[in-house]
Copies of this chain bind each other. A is one copy, B any other.
Amino acid sequence: MTLAEKAYVSLRKDIVEGCFAPDSPLRLADLSERYGMGFSPLREALNRLQAERLVTAESLRGFRVSARSLAEFEDALHARLLVETEALRLSIAHGDDAWEASVVAALYALRRQAGRADGDVDELKTRHHAFHRALLAACRSDWLLDFFERLYAATERYRIPALTAAGPQKRDIDAEHGAIADAVLARDTELAEQLLRDHYLRTATTIRSGMSPA
């Protein structure tokens, strides 16, 4: 793996996880020290992230972490529902036994991690992502999967602060995931789509309540 790729992975992770404040400038000298590399690989990574809308660039004024706003979150959520319901529909239509098995496995792994008291939050997030990706993986559309990844990263930036703030978590998220998996395995397209939609809308409500309507 080249330095530029490492820079891309590290920067992306740190931005999505909120290590840099939204809208804060990403100065090359700082990044160079933080990640222990020269300017070239960092600039390449920043250009890729710019194309993914995680960072913004202004000519001769460098890069910044993309700003967050309630409007952008609502937009990303709406796009996500559009893309993921379609991808889920296709996945249910095309998925074979191996796909079903991978969904079961991803759900199992997610529950296993969620059940641990000594929660490694990082691993939990990875498995949550993996479960949602497994649901769509059989859709046979590289474009829809690409959009899913983009939107997942974009919304993750909003979800994480809401999770750590973790108010009165009345929801049984585990049950929601289970119900989606059941509907998927039963090939009940309509139900699965409805459950997925509700799942996201509930998450959205949680996040909205924790955000100032900037």
Q: Please give the distance in Å from A192's CB to the nearest CB on chain B.
A: 18
Judging by beta carbons under 8 Å apart, are B143 and A59 in contact? no
User: How far, in whole Å, are A40 and B1 apart by their CA atoms in the complex?
Assistant: 19
A45 contact set on B, CB distance < 8 A: 47
Q: Please give the distance in Å from A4's CB to the nearest CB on chain B.
A: 7
Chain A positions 36-82 with a Cβ under 8 Å from a chain B Cβ:
40, 43-45, 47-53, 59-60, 72, 75-76, 78-79, 82
Chain B minimum-CB-distance residue to A53: B146
User: How far, in whole Å, are A3 and B52 apart by their CA atoms in the complex?
Assistant: 21
Chain A positions 105-145 with a Cβ under 8 Å from a chain B Cβ:
140-144
User: How far, in whole Å, are A50 and B53 apart by their CA atoms in the complex?
Assistant: 14
Q: In this assembly, does A147 line the interface, its C-beta being within 8 Å of a C-beta of chain B?
A: yes
Judging by beta carbons under 8 Å apart, are B4 and A76 in contact? no
8 closest Cβ pairs, A-B complex: A51-B51, A79-B143, A47-B47, A48-B51, A44-B47, A47-B48, A75-B141, A75-B143
Cross-chain pairs A/B with CB under 8 angstroms, 30 sampled = A1-B59, A2-B59, A2-B60, A4-B47, A5-B59, A43-B44, A44-B44, A44-B47, A45-B47, A47-B47, A47-B51, A48-B48, A48-B50, A48-B51, A51-B51, A51-B52, A53-B146, A72-B142, A75-B140, A75-B141, A75-B142, A75-B143, A76-B143, A78-B141, A78-B143, A79-B141, A79-B144, A79-B147, A143-B151, A143-B154
Q: Write the residues of chain A forming the contact surface with B, with a CB cutoff of 8 angstroms.
A: 1-2, 4-5, 40, 43-45, 47-53, 59-60, 72, 75-76, 78-79, 82-83, 86, 140-144, 146-147, 151, 154
